[in-house]
C-alpha cells in the first residue's frame, strides 16, 4: 500500500516525537531505514544532526541536493522504508527536486511501498496543491504544483499562522484551490492509496480538517476524527 503522512507541523523539527513514532510504526520494522530530504530547509548540517539524534534507533541517511553525493536517486530512495521531508520553502524545494529527478524518484518509491512523510513543505509536496508562504513570509498563497500523490490540496500550520485559515477559505470558495485537508501544528493526516485513512494529533486540541465548498458560495470546514497519540 502507498502510505503518506502529512503533518501540519510537528515531528523532530518542532521537538515532537509522537508523530514521528507513528510514522515509523507504518514501516513495520524494528529498525527501519529512514532517509531525510532536507531540500526545503537548504540542506543544513545542523538539521541533519538533529534528525540523526532523533532517529538514532533507525538506520538513517540523508539525500542532499546542494552538495549531492548520490548518483542513482531513484534506487537510493526506493531502498528505504521511510522517506521524511523537512519543512521550509515548498516552491524552491519542488524546483530543485525536478532539476535532480527527485520528483520521479519519489513516485517510484511510493509505488515500491516506501512510507512518505513530512511536515509543512514536507506535507504540501505530496498533494496536487497547497497553501504556502514560499513567495512571501506572512502570506498563504495557493500553489498548484505538487507531486499529486494525493488528490486535492493541503494546508499546514492551520492554527499556527494567522494567514492560513482565511487564505485557504478564500481559495476554496473562489475555486483557486481544490478541496482538501488542513492540519494544525502537531496534527497529521494519514492517506493510504490516495484516500484518507485517519488523522493523528500529538497535542490535545490539535485537529485535522476537511475543507470544501458548501454549495452556496461559501466553505464547509469539517473537523475530522483525530486520534490523540500517547
| Integer Cα distance of 201 and 212 in angstroms | 22
Domain topology for 3-228: Rossmann fold (3.40.50)
- 57 catalytically annotated: no
- How distant, in Å, are the alpha carbons of 42, 141, 169 from that of 177? 27, 10, 9
How do residues 110-159 score in pLDDT, each as one tens digit?
999 999 999 999 999 999 999 999 999 989 999 999 999 999 999 999 99
| Cα dihedral across residues 162, 165, 168, 173: positive or negative | negative
Provide the residue ranges of all domains of the chain, joining segments of one domain with +.
3-228
Residue in the block written with cell 534507533: 57
> Which three cell numbers mark 111?
509505488
- 80 catalytically annotated: no
How do residues 3-38 score in pLDDT, each as one tens digit?
999 999 999 999 999 999 999 999 999 999 999 999
3, 78, 80, 157: the catalytic one is 157
**Entry pTM:** 0.96
120, 134, 201, 202: the catalytic one is 120
What element of type H or E holds 34?
A: strand 33-37
Amino acid at each position: 500500500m502507498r502510505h503518506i503522512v502529512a503533518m501540519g507541523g510537528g515531528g523532530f523539527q518542532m521537538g515532537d516525537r509522537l508523530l514521528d513514532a507513528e510514522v515509523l510504526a507504518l514501516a513495520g520494522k524494528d529498525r527501519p531505514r529512514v532517509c531525510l530530504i532536507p531540500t526545503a530547509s537548504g540542506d543544513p548540517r545542523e538539521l541533519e544532526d538533529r534528525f540523526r539524534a532523533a532517529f538514532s534507533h533507525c538506520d538513517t541517511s540523508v539525500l542532499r541536493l546542494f552538495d549531492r553525493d548520490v548518483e542513482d536517486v531513484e534506487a537510493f530512495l526506493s531502498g528505504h522504508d521511510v522517506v521524511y521531508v523537512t519543512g521550509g520553502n515548498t516552491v524552491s524545494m519542488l524546483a530543485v527536486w525536478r532539476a535532480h529527478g527527485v520528483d520521479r524518484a519519489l513516485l517510484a518509491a511510493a509505488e515500491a511501498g516506501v512510507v512518505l512523510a513530512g511536515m509543512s513543505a514536507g506535507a504540501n509536496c505530496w498533494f496536487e496543491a497547497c497553501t504556502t508562504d514560499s513567495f512571501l513570509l506572512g502570506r498563504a498563497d495557493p500553489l498548484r504544483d505538487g507531486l499529486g500523490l494525493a488528490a486535492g490540496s493541503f494546508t499546514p500550520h492551520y492554527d499556527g499562522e494567522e494567514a492560513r485559515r482565511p487564505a485557504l477559505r478564500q481559495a476554496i470558495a473562489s475555486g483557486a484551490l481544490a478541496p482538501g485537508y488542513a492540519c494544525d501544528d502537531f496534527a497529521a493526516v494519514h492517506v493510504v492509496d490516495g484516500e484518507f485513512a485517519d488523522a493523528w494529533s500529538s497535542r490535545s486540541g490539535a485537529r485535522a480538517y476537511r475543507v470544501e465548498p458548501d454549495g452556496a458560495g461559501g466553505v464547509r470546514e469539517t473537523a475530522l476524527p483525530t486520534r490523540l497519540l500517547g
